[in-house]
Structures are given as structure tokens and as C-alpha cells.
Amino acid sequence: MSGYLTGVLVVLAFNVIAAYAVYLPMAAGQLNLGIAGFMAIGAYGAAFLTNEYGWSMLAAVPVASAAAGLVGLVIGFPVLRTHGIYLALATFALGQVIAAVFLNLEVVGGAAGYTLSAYAGPYVVFAAAIGVVLVMLYLSRTRFALYLTAVKSDPTVADLMGISVRGVQVAAFALGAMVAGFGGAFYALHYNFVEAQHFNVLLSVFTVLYVLFGGAQTVWGPLAGAMFFTLAPEALRFGEQWRYAIFALFIILFMAIRPQGLITTSLFQGFRRRSNEASP
């Protein structure tokens, strides 16, 4: 594999992990615009534990991910009291606050960034992304995924059915934060360097776009969205400086035509019906 291709696939792997971190709360109707903050917790957590305590990657990554998940859990309860634009703003602010804390934390290098000695190669990163996809596919086959959609569709009815709407929402938010932390941990370990400036609002917004573009109705949407957003700009390289303009125009047109995203439940149903008709 060429260095260029490996580099692109590593970025794709990180984007896929991040997309699923946003997808989990979004499947329950919650927009998390602060996902970069949780990635930062994972990244700095893994960096600190491997550097300062000499932990192995195998120990540091789960602990760093769990730390991000725990922060998601603790913050989730008050933050998820808000809805709609207020929730978006609250999570946006949360992401900024977390990044600002690391920016000012001298023990992890402050604004100068933090260099790691441990290293995760590209194949480790690929395995991590494949692992996240498999876990998400597994979850999508469970009642938990069903309840995410139920809570998003009609929280009042879900509540009357006995589902803890708040419990499901907080669980989705915290799990998403954990996945973000997992991705952030490998990001730090792969690039051997973290700086708080990387975990900015653009990173959060782009990740949300992956999911919106791919579609939040099915578990395949985030994967499709992350692949498109990572690979399409590379394919448009021939356009040189125009490529981002072409790309942006395409996104606007696409979202106007198909606001529910690329992959939807009715799309799957259409395929299923066609295959049933083909083999009566």
C-alpha cells in the first residue's frame, strides 16, 4: 500500500469512528456539536497515561475512552435537559470548554502541544475502526437501537411504553462520548502528537455533517457519510483549488434533494422488496 493511500485510509478510519460517536446520540434525536471535546479527552488521556505512567496502549486506550464516556455521562444528565437548538449550543460550548481546558493545562504541554512516545501503526488504527463498526452493527441488532429510534420518533409514547427516555438519551450520549474518546486516543497514538487546537469546532461540525449526509436512520449512514467526505475531496484533486467549491456545491444540492441523508430505512425496504419480487 502506498504511503498516500495509507494516509487517506487512516484519516478515513478516524472519521468513521468520529461519525459513529455523533451517530449514537443523533439516533436518539440529540445533536452533539461538541464531539471534538470528547475526542480531546481520549487523546490527552491516552497520551498522558502512556507518557507519564508508561502504560501500554492496551491499558491506556480503554481507560482514556472510559474517561471520555464518564464525562459524557456526568455532563449528559444536565445538558440533555435542553432540546433542539439549545442542546446544540450547550454541546458546542461543552466542546469548546474541554478544548480550552487542555489548551491551558501545562502538564500536557499547554498551547505548545504534547508529544507521545507510544505509537499505533496504521493497521492498528484500521482494526480500531473496524472494531467500532462491528460494535455498532451489533448494537443496531438489539433493542437498544430500537429504543433510540423510538425515543427520537415519539418520546411521549416511548415513555408510556415504559422506556426511560432520559436513560436512553444519556446512555447514547455517554456511549457516543466513549467512542469519540476511543477515536481520539488512537489519533494521539498514531500521530504521536496532540494539540488542543486540533479539537476545534470545525472538527465537530464536519463530523455531524458525515452523519447528516450519510443518514442517521440506519447504522450504515455514518459509514457512508464518512467515506464520502473523506474520499470525494481526494477524488476531486484534479480540480485543484476549485475542488472544495465543487464539493460544497454538491453537498448543498444533495441535502436540498435528499435531506434525510443518503441511506434510509425506506431505501433498504425498496431493495428488500425488489429482491423478494426477483425470487418469489
Partner 1 sequence: MSSQATSTGGAAPEAAPVALAVTGISKSFAGVHAIRNLSFVARKGEATALIGPNGAGKTTVFNLVSGVYGVDAGAVTVNGVDVTHMPSRRRIGCGIARSFQNVRLMDHLSVLENLLVGQHIRAASLTDLLTPYRLFPNHRWRQEARQALADNGLERYANETVSGLPYGVRKRVDLVRATLAGASILLLDEPAAGLNPSETNDLRDHLNLLVAQGLTLVIVEHDMHFIDSICSNVVVLNFGEKIAEGPLSVVRQDPEVRRAYIGDGEN
Phi, psi of 114 (to 5 degrees): -140, 125
Rounded to the nearest whole angstrom, what is the least distance from the CB of residue 11 to partner 1 in the complex?
30
Residue 248 within binding range of partner 1, rule CB under 8 A = no
Question: What does the per-residue mask of binding to partner 1 show for 157-196, with x meaning CB under 8 A?
Answer: xxxxxxxxx-------------------------------
Among 115, 140, 192, 200, binds partner 1 (CB under 8 A): 140
Exposed e or buried b for every residue in 147-185, given b needs 16+ CB within 10 A? Answer: bbbbbbeebeebeeeebebeebbbbbbbbbbbbbbbbbb
Residue 263 burial by CB count (10 A; 0-12/13-18/19+): exposed, middle or buried?
buried
Residue 131 within binding range of partner 1, rule CB under 8 A = no
Among 55, 126, 144, 206, binds partner 1 (CB under 8 A): 144
Among 130, 143, 202, 249, binds partner 1 (CB under 8 A): 143
DSSP-assigned letters across all residues of 226-268: HHHHHHHHHHGGGGGGGHHHHHHHHHHHHHHH-TT-SS-HHHH
Q: Which of residues 253-272 bind partner 1 (CB under 8 A)?
A: 265-266, 269, 272
Q: Which residues contact 236 (CB under 8 A, 6 or more apart)?
A: 243, 246, 247
Question: What does the per-residue mask of binding to partner 1 show for 197-226, with x meaning CB under 8 A?
Answer: --------------------x---------
Rounded to the nearest whole angstrom, what is the least distance from the CB of residue 149 to partner 1 in the complex?
6
Interacting residue ranges for partner 1, rule: CB under 8 A = 138, 140-144, 146-147, 149-150, 153-154, 156-165, 217, 265-266, 269, 272
